[in-house]
Amino acid sequence: MNKTYLNKIKVFIFSIFFTSFALTNEDIYKEVQSKLIMAKNGEVISLPQGKFIVTRSLWGENLKNITIKGAGINSTILSFKSQIEGAEGLKIINSQNVTLQDFTVEDSKGDLIKVEDSKNINFINIKAQWTGGPLETNGSYALYPVKSENILIDHCIAIGASDAGIYVGQSKNIIVRNCEAYNNVAGIEIENSTNADVYNNYTHNNTGGILVFDLPDLLVKKGQNVRVFNNLIVENNLYNFAPEGNIVAKVPTGTGVMVLATSNVEIFNNIIIENKTANTSIVSYYITEEEITDSLYYPYPTSVYIHDNIYKRSKQFPALSFTQPIGLLLAYNFWRSVPDIIYDGILDEYLDNHNICFKNNINSSIVNLDAGNDFLNLSIDESKFDCELDYLSPVKLPFDD
């Protein structure tokens, strides 16, 4: 064998060894974190193929026009299972025009990917998961943009969050589409946010499929203008594993869609089936029995329009738990034939018309719990809700065609 050919083989073997060694574990952290710190306008930060053990949180601040791109959702995996520093897997703050694409983040101590105080953010083909199953010790949120503007979450997968798999909070101009969420307490949650479209998603085997919440004691008040449509919301009957004291710990097992204290919500063209406690519920914050100390908080849902959905619920018991007594109440009154749409009936006495309207839903049944009157006058009379509201406008993002 001639010397030149031998040298070529040595170079080839060395390059394979060096590339593999250089891009593993601690070195992948150093490489990616350095790029995040030094990133220039318009740069693409490429994540290599492989599974990498990352022991410290990755973070980016004041990024502009940056893409962080892996080799594929199942080809690039950043595992934080041995995390010794930080809480999040990846955190982006005070940034603009950032795209996260084609990789998986898993098993961080806290939230998997958090984006805060940022604008024009894309999550594309991202998986965020805890691999040990539904556990109270899992982090709260898998994908977690908060206090941000112009957010697109597209073709993403969220698994195992002890609060919400895909959560967008205190933000405006939001699209969540073509995603799958399962084994979370809440599959998808829009909270205290304005102008959100949630569509073409598949939520299954969560405690609650899709939640639209307004909560007190947050910096951003009064979420509104939320459309939930063309989703498949199926068998969200997973036991609630949220830590005690968390508001989603009060979400009954077997909830398809829940609207809590939010105004201007339109739910339409969804398939909502086999969520055993409530395929859909519309409730005031008072149903939680939590004290309200926020003087600027409005606790009632208003202008909620539920129309043209397909419902199905086999005869089965709702969730029966003394920690979530609504299931016991429903079972007592309806046994195994619980209505699909549940309205708590807690009213703002100063408001003449709450505009809670149901129209053209297939196979649906309704109950007004009269919870504001100690459940004394439960009613299945649908005529009081037979009304129509104006359709909400679609969300338009400046970068989404």
> From CA 324, how far away is CA 74, in angstroms rounded?
38
* Any domain includes 391: no
66 vs 41: CA distance, rounded Å: 7
Q: How many domains does the chain have?
A: 1
Is residue 376, in this structure, part of any structural domain at all? yes
The pLDDT, as a whole number, for residue 14 is 36
| pLDDT tens per residue, range 30-64 | 999 999 999 999 999 999 999 999 999 999 999 99
CATH code assigned at 97: 2.160.20
> Is the CB of residue 154 less than 8 Å from the CB of residue 130?
no
Q: Distance from CA of residue 247 to its chain's centroid?
A: 14
d(CA 89, CA 400): 27
Structural domain containing residue 23: 3-385
Residue 401 lies in a domain: no
Looking at residue 386, what DSSP letter applies? -
178: CB partners within 8 A, 6+ apart: 154, 155, 200, 201
pLDDT value of residue 25 = 64
Q: Which token pair is 248?
A: 């989603």
Long-range contacts of 317-323 (CB under 8 A, 24+ apart): 317/276, 318/252, 318/254, 318/276, 318/277, 318/278, 319/237, 319/252, 319/253, 319/254, 319/276, 319/277, 321/252, 321/253
Residue 76 lies in a domain: yes
The torsion defined by the Cα of 117, 120, 124 and 126, in degrees rounded to 10, comes to: -10
Residue with tokens 């990133």: 39
Q: Scan for tokens 């395929």, then name that residue.
A: 279
The pLDDT assigned to 90 comes to 97
The confidence score (pLDDT) of residue 368 equals 94
Whether residue 395 is contained in a domain is answered as no
> Which portions of the chain are predicted below pLDDT 50?
1, 3-23
- pLDDT computed for residue 393 by the predictor: 97
Asked if the structure places residue 397 within a domain, the reply is: no
Task: Flag whether 400 is in a domain.
Answer: no
pLDDT of residue 2: 53
Residue with tokens 């919500």: 265
pLDDT at 322: 67
Helices (H), ranges, 189-337: 326-334
* Amino acid occupying residue 204: H
Residues near 101 by Cβ (< 8 Å), separated by ≥ 6?
67, 68, 69, 70, 122, 123, 124, 125, 126
Asked if residue 75 belongs to a domain, the reply is yes
CA distance 12 to 4: 12
The pTM of the whole model exceeds 0.75? yes
